[in-house]
Structures are given as structure tokens and as C-alpha cells.
Amino acid sequence: MASFHQQLQDALPDLWRYAFALTRARDRADDLVQDCAERALRKRALWLPGRPLKPWLMKMLLNILRNDHARGAGRVMVPFEEQIARAQPLIDTEGRLELAATARALARLPEAQREALLLVAVGGLDYSEAARALGIPVGTLMSRLSRARSRLRQWRAEGEKPNVRSIS
């Protein structure tokens, strides 16, 4: 198994994607990842060397975010449309509209379902790692994922796909 520092370095891109998915703000995601890496280095003695580091880091990042929200700090909400406009690289208007609709649907999910889905889909954790990161049984994680995916499919089926046509 790779060293602590190597695993930390390898996990940084996934940590950032997860932080960005949770906050929808690049600066806030940067701060969260930096806080998480700093805390991981400080608390390295608490990590169990035989286990993968990424689930531990994901849980730490989520706890940092939750603590910030409890204190009322870090609530930087960027409107979806503004965030979509900043996203790189989006090719066409239809893709932007689809991404905006997906972001709005994710925001409508209950927090527990959204966290579970983002850990697996964005964070790249397997079910057992994600369950450990959230401190829940694997069955509970699978249930939350199933409900989240079902709701997203339902909302997608109910919503009309935007009609994108040129005016001219």
C-alpha cells in the first residue's frame, strides 16, 4: 500500500471534486481541501495504516463542512446559473442547460441522500468506503443511493427537456 503522503496526494483531486459538488464554489472547495489536508497531516496518528486513506479524508472533509455550517461560516452559495457559466469546458447551450437542471435536482435531494450520492459518484468511493466515511452501515448507504437515484430519475422523467432553438 502507498505511503500516507502518496495516498494524500492521490486523493486531492477527488477531494476537491467532492468539496466542489458540496459547496458549488471553487474558492470554498479550495479552502475545504486545504483544511482537510492540514487536519489530516496533524491527525495522521489517528489513521489506521492498513486501511485506505481516501474514505478517512472524505469523512474529515464532510465533518469540516458540517462544523462550518453549524458555526454559520462558509455559507457561500453561488447561483446555479453563475456556476454553470464558470464551468469549464462546456461545449453547447443544451449541455449547459442539462448541467444546470442536474445541479438543481441534486440540490433538491435530502442532505443525507445527496452526501451519499456525491461520495460515490463524485468522490469515487466504493460502497463500503462511502458507508465508513458517513459512519453508516453499507445497507443504509445503498438505500440512500437507491432513493436518490430514483428521485433523480423521477424528476428527469417529469421535467421537460428544454427546447433549444435559434431565434433567427
Confidence check: pLDDT of 166 > 60? no
CA 34 – CA 31 distance, rounded (Å): 5
pLDDT for the residue numbered 86: 58
pLDDT digits (tens, 9 = 90+) for 42-88: 999 988 888 889 999 999 999 999 888 777 754 455 555 555 555 55
Encoded amino acid at 21, one letter: A
Q: 9-47: per-residue pLDDT in tens?
A: 999 999 999 999 888 888 999 999 999 999 999 999 988
78-89 pLDDT, tens per residue?
A: 555 555 555 555
pTM here? 0.62
| Distance, CA of 25 to CA of 6 (rounded, Å) | 27
127 in Cβ contact with 120 (< 8 Å): yes
1: pLDDT strictly greater than 90: no
**Cell output for 133:** 466515511
